[in-house]
Amino acid sequence: MYELIQTAPRTYYILCPAKMGIWKLNDTDVVLIDSGSDKDAGRKVQKLLDAQGWTLKAILNTHANADHNGGNALLQQRLGAPAFAPGIDAAITSHPILEPAFLYGGYPCKALRNKFLLAQPSDCRPLTAENLPDGLTMLPLPGHFFDMCGFQTADGVWFLADCLSGANIVEKYHVNFIYDVAAYLDTLDKVCALEGKMFIPAHAEPTDDIRPLAKLNRAKVLEITSLLLDLCREPLCFEDVLQRVFQHYQLTIDFNQYVLVGSTIRSYLSYLLDQNALAAEFSDSRLLWRTV
């Protein structure tokens, strides 16, 4: 794990739980795409860079989930590299308490203030076309998280962050985190139309054809929307909907899964309400969801 793999003349990725990318600006200077989950990941990245004699010039975070920006703080402390992230994700990276607070919908209890949901704060600036390093193209990939983006290197390699999950993850966990379902489906369409030599999702194997995996992820989204419409043929409050989703997919519930799956199911309910497939009604001081 944390193996450096070259995939094109100036493009590398780091094989780890959430794959990171490296783009060589020249013989000695590099840009890191995402930084891993914590300070230990940061230390391993530094070790790889030192072994190659490379100087880290910038960290580009695709989005503000803790497994993608958790190494920022250590790398900035040791190497002084600036960090950049798109849109609101720059603010969340600088103020990471926003991630578990958003997921929970209130102040996160201690069980939610863990390294999987709460990265160490780092100094992160908004990523714009003006400060994007040479040789990289940024592509908005909304849906999974607020302003998530991907990057294409001049070598024709795409780093696609979390806009797709590997087939093993889709079939094991079923309800993978999505913030905006409509935007996520649009992003899958966008990804299917991309041209490139290699596609590297953070949580799936690199491939030269990303379309089959995009279609698999789309099918799972449509499966979940169908399940929710079936469950809500009788009016249900959110907690009852969530319980039945966990039971249907035989998922294990804990605080992390409660907020990750729970937030995602709320997003599905919002999507179906906006599509006029669900109705929302208040009865006996409860919000009930009902299939139209």
- Per-residue pLDDT of 106-159, as tens digits, reads 999 999 999 999 999 999 999 999 999 999 999 999 999 999 999 999 999 999
Residues 30 and 140 in one domain: yes
Residue 51 lies in a domain: yes
Tokens, residue 180 = 């905006």
Residues 154 and 28 in one domain: yes
Range of the domain at 267: 223-291
Residue 176 lies in a domain: no
Rg for the chain, CA atoms, rounded = 20
Residues 118 and 243 in one domain: no
Q: How confident is the model at residue 1 (pLDDT cuts 50, 70, 90)?
A: confident
Residue 236 lies in a domain: yes
Among candidate residues 133, 106, 39, the one with its CA nearest the CA of residue 79: 39
243-280 pLDDT, tens digit per residue, is 999 999 999 999 999 999 999 999 999 999 999 999 99
Q: How confident is the model at residue 191 (pLDDT cuts 50, 70, 90)?
A: very high
User: Residue 203 pairs with which residues in a beta bridge?
Assistant: 165
Residues 17 and 118 in one domain: yes
DSSP 203: B
Residues 20 and 152 in one domain: yes
Residue 260: CATH number of its domain: 1.10.10
Residue 158 lies in a domain: yes
Residues 19 and 154 in one domain: yes
pTM for the whole structure: 0.97
Burial 80-113 (b: 16+ CB within 10 A, else e): ebebbbbbebbbbbbebebbbbbbbeeebeeebe
- Number of domains comprising the chain: 2
Share of the chain above pLDDT 70, in %: 100
Residue 38 lies in a domain: yes
Residues 47 and 157 in one domain: yes
Residues 39 and 144 in one domain: yes
Last residue of a domain, one of 162, 185, 211: 162
Residue 104 predicted with pLDDT over 90: yes
Among candidate residues 187, 210, 186, the one with its CA nearest the CA of residue 197: 210
Residues 153 and 232 in one domain: no
pLDDT of residue 292: 97
pLDDT of residue 83: 98
